[in-house]
Every structure is written in structure tokens, then in C-alpha cells.
Amino acid sequence: METLVAGRACGECQVCCITPQIDTPDIRKTSGVACRNLTGTGCAIHTTRPAVCRGFYCGWRILESLPDDWRPDRCGVFVLLDQTMDLPVQFRLRTAVILALVGNPLKTVRQRWFQDYVGRSVLAGVPLFLSVPPRNGNQMARVMLNTSTMRDAAASRMAARIKDELEKALKAVALYPPMKYVPVHGGPDMDGAG
């Protein structure tokens, strides 16, 4: 189990019950669709929820490098950690950090707090990806932010350059052709309103 950052609690945030795609033998849920067990006050089966839900924490709960005000429902950024992603050789044995923009993506990449985090992370060699959660059951498209132009922008410490690179990355994500996700496991379908 991951070590959680002291003082951070999910509270009313329900982004993890909507945004991620889940495909396990215990549960299957489409990205961007609320789990059918989600109610206005939380999970209807919280005490008996599947293991995949019980063991999941977003990056905000795990990464001390994220500011306290980055709770996903408040800032519009759902941070996912992926240890299974096939990364370029310089990032092997590192955990990928996916910044899924669940609020207004263009507004988010234009915020100084977001630009500062991306700049610091890229300079620190964190494998960083930008994503916008898909609609209609498609796979999540993402682009890597660890490019030479982003490193140069981050090293310049000029917010305008980082913003320009983030806007290019956002456009690149939008250009990915939709790819329908085909489930691998036959877990119960949890799509639907609670």
C-alpha cells in the first residue's frame, strides 16, 4: 500500500468514481462515466467495494510534491500514477505521473500554479504526461511532457513559454483519433447513474 500524505482526505471528491477506466475481474467501468454505485453523498457500497477501489488513491493523496489545494474536484486535475507504463529508457524504473485535466483543460494549462508544477517536474526528470479523459468509452489519449522544448521552457523559468508548450500538448492530445476501448476482463459492468 502507498504511504498517504498526512492531512489529506478525499472528502466530497468523487472524481475517481467517474474519470478512470476500470477493467478487472471484479469490476468494469468506462472512463468518464459515473459508477452506478455512486450516490450524491459517495459510494453506496463503500464498506464492501471491490479491491481495485479499496486500494486506489489518486496522486494527490500520495505525492507530497503536489500542493494541498490540488484535490481533483477543486483544481480540475486528476493525478494518476502508473508504474506499468512503457517509458523511454531514461525514465525506466520511475513512476509515470499522468495529469488528467478533468475541469476546463485550456483554463488549467493557462494557470501559473499548473505551469509551475509542470516546469519543476520536467526539470526534476519526473516522467510526466498530459491527458484529457475520453468520452464515449474511448481509451485515454496522453502526450508526454518531457520534451526538449518543454525542458527548455521550464529551464527559462518563463511562464509564457511553459504555457505555450502546454497549449501545444493539449492540441496534440485532441488530435489523437478516438480509439474504442475493448474490455479484457468480464467483471460486472458498473456503468450507470447511482
Mean per-residue pLDDT, 83-106: 83
Name residue 28's beta-bridge partners.
Answer: 23, 189
Q: How many angstroms separate the CA atoms of 128 and 126, rounded?
A: 6
Mapping DSSP onto H, E and C, the string for 70-108 reads: CCHHHHCEEEEEECCCCCCHHHCCCCEEEEEECCCHHHH
DSSP structural state of residue 135: S
Residue 109 burial (CB count, 10 A): 23
Mind listing the pLDDT tens digit for each residue in 114-173? 999 999 999 999 999 999 987 666 777 899 999 999 999 999 999 999 999 999 999 999
Mean pLDDT of 11-35: 89
Instruction: Report the pLDDT value the prediction gives residue 144, as an integer from 0 to 100.
Output: 94
Burial (CB count <10 Å: 0-12, 13-18, 19+), residue 26? middle
What is the C-alpha separation between 29 and 187, in angstroms, rounded? 9
Higher pLDDT, 83 or 54: 54
Domain boundaries, the chain: 13-56, 57-175
Entry pTM: 0.89
Position 176 pLDDT exceeds 90: no
Q: Calculate mean pLDDT across residues 19-48.
A: 88
Find the angle CA(84)-CA(11)-CA(77) to the nearest 5 degrees: 45
